[in-house]
Chain A
Amino acid sequence: MELAWILTKIVAIVGPLILAVAYLTYAERKIIGWIQNRNGPNRVGPLGLLQPFADVFKLLFKEVVLPANANRFLFIVAPMLSLMPALAAWAVIPFGEGMVLADINAGLLYVLAMTSLGVYGVILAGWAANSKYSMLGAMRSAAQIVSYEIAMGFALVGVLMAAGTLNMTGIVQSQAGPIWNWFWLPLLPLFMVYWISGVAETNRAPFDVAEGESEIVAGFHVEYSGVAFAVFFLAEYANMILISGLAVIMFMGGWYSPFHGLPLLGPMFDLVPGMVWFVLKVAFFLYLYLWFRATFPRYRYDQIMRLGWKVLIPVTVVWLVVLAGMILGSLGPWFN
């Protein structure tokens, strides 16, 4: 009985998530189209709204090609290995007050562990395909993900210090209040480091050297086709939504409205359910992803490494010390 209830909750999270991924691809093509003065997809269904489904069915009916001398087992398993952590991390994400699948104490740690696993799918896909392009893509991607994970982890240490808890619900509750009470303000450098590393972790533009089309065709998944390719695609977009969700929870006050706790506006805006605020904020960060992609040229590889190791990590270390001072000094309104 309890198991059935948990399964229902899992379906209630994963179902909308996959639908969100489908429409994120649609939104991406539309928004980038508008930014580039085009229309974007507009043929399948009204306003092109059925385009994601057309893409999905196309991919489902395509043949999955196994390259010669590929390592069969790892080649098939790699896409699943990249999708699994992207979905598993959602278990501890609170969508609203008490709306969480597993309210565990070490939630932040669990999220860090899960996001650090995504790299396996990339490395194994690159290696198992027995192709030099995918191997090069995998190597680039792995080095990049490992480097930016450190900066990301340090940024999250700052959140942990500020909130005083690893529990995701607790982190949001410690930001209760209007928009200037949220952690993005006292942790501004960490917030920026987190967001930059988040974009790099998901291998999105401008950090998408892992699939730099101009140099190494399509990077680590160049040999994949059909459903296997679709699973990689799904994992990438699910990861984008996850990173945006984490940014909202840890820096942008989770499910609280921007006027929460103010005399007149607070109760008015609290009429909107917390989950709506959460989704709106996540949508904002997803828009940033698409905006970046349409705006920035791709980083050169040595610039990526330099930014990660020589800029972002020192910034986080310095700000952790500053943050410790702010907490010791009970600086209001965050730490009193």
Chain B
Amino acid sequence: MITQFVFYVFAAVLLFAATMVITARNPVHAAMYLVLAFFNSAVLWIMAGAEFLGIVLVLVYVGAVMVLFLFVVMMLDINLARIREGFVRHIYIGLPIAAVMVLQMLLVVGSDAFQVDRLPAGDMPIPPDVANTPLLGSVLYTVYVYPFELAAVILLVAIIAAITLTLRRREGTKHQDPAKQVRVRKGDRLRVVDLRSGAQNREPDNRP
């Protein structure tokens, strides 16, 4: 009873936050609503017993991805009025796409194959008193090790591709070589000049 109540509270906040992401006027507010949405879906996952997935959602998406997102949103000078115009103009494309996506989700979630009791149990027995993190790990690194490694390689390729796309060598950057800086000795920078007093025999000023 109370579990259901808690579920609906968090689900309601999730829907509200998700709506606000696309309707909030200020892009930073929109990003913060997205953070709220992630938090609430993490709570729903934890309530479903997927503690690992829930905490990792917070760790990866809220703790890393959204921070970078916020970083970019704050740096950009976004013209809000122009974005509002686009909202109405693109709704004719957006609405059908949204409708198709909702339909697909309903078909997948509502289908027979997706019911919990129909899911294949797998060939590994699940001990009742083991937390789902070690279980997930043992399955991921034994049964699904090839798909897992494949996904990792694809991500690595994506990272390298993104870096090579944006990397450009700029002229005139004040690049520091720390090894060189550390190797500097007193003799390289400092020259002791013997200064005699008196104006007539002053040495010519030969400082660099």
Contact = CB atoms under 8 A, between A and B. Distances in A.
B70 A116 contact: no
Specify the main secondary structure of chain B where it touches its partner.
helix
Top-7 shortest CB links A-B: A116-B63, A105-B131, A113-B59, A113-B58, A109-B55, A127-B74, A113-B55
B19 interface: no
Contact of B56 (A71, A109, A119, A149): A109
A109 B68 contact: no
B104 interface: no
Contacts of A142: 67, 71
Interface residues of A, number: 26
Contacts of B56: 109, 113
A302 B62 CA distance: 26
B176 interface: yes
B20 interface: no
A275 interface: no
Interface string B68-92: 1011001100000000000000000
Interface in A99-140: 104-106, 109-110, 112-113, 116-117, 119-120, 123-124, 127, 135, 139
Interface string B52-68: 10011011001110011
22 contacts: A71-B28, A74-B29, A106-B52, A106-B55, A106-B131, A106-B133, A109-B52, A113-B58, A116-B59, A116-B62, A119-B67, A120-B35, A120-B67, A120-B70, A123-B70, A123-B74, A124-B32, A127-B28, A139-B71, A139-B75, A142-B67, A146-B68
A214 interface: no
Nearest to B66: A120
A142 B75 CA distance: 13
Contacts of B62: 113, 116-117
Interface of B: 26, 28-29, 32, 35, 51-52, 55-56, 58-59, 62-64, 67-68, 70-71, 74-75, 131, 133, 176, 178
Contact of A106 (B35, B51, B70, B176): B51
A247 interface: no
A8 interface: no
B59 A109 contact: yes
Given A110-B55, A117-B63, 16 more contacts: A71-B26, A71-B28, A105-B131, A106-B51, A113-B55, A113-B59, A113-B63, A117-B62, A119-B67, A120-B67, A123-B67, A123-B70, A123-B71, A127-B74, A135-B74, A302-B176
Interface in A127-181: 127, 135, 139, 142-143, 146, 149, 166
A113 B52 CA distance: 11
Contacts of A74: 28-29, 32
A109 B67 contact: no
Specify the main secondary structure of chain A where it touches its partner.
helix
Contacts of B131: 105-106, 166
A104 B59 CA distance: 16
Interface in A243-276: none
Interface of A: 71, 74, 104-106, 109-110, 112-113, 116-117, 119-120, 123-124, 127, 135, 139, 142-143, 146, 149, 166, 302-303, 306
A124 to B, nearest CB: 8
Among B32, B51, B59, B133, residue most surrounded by chain A Cβ atoms (within 10 Å): B59
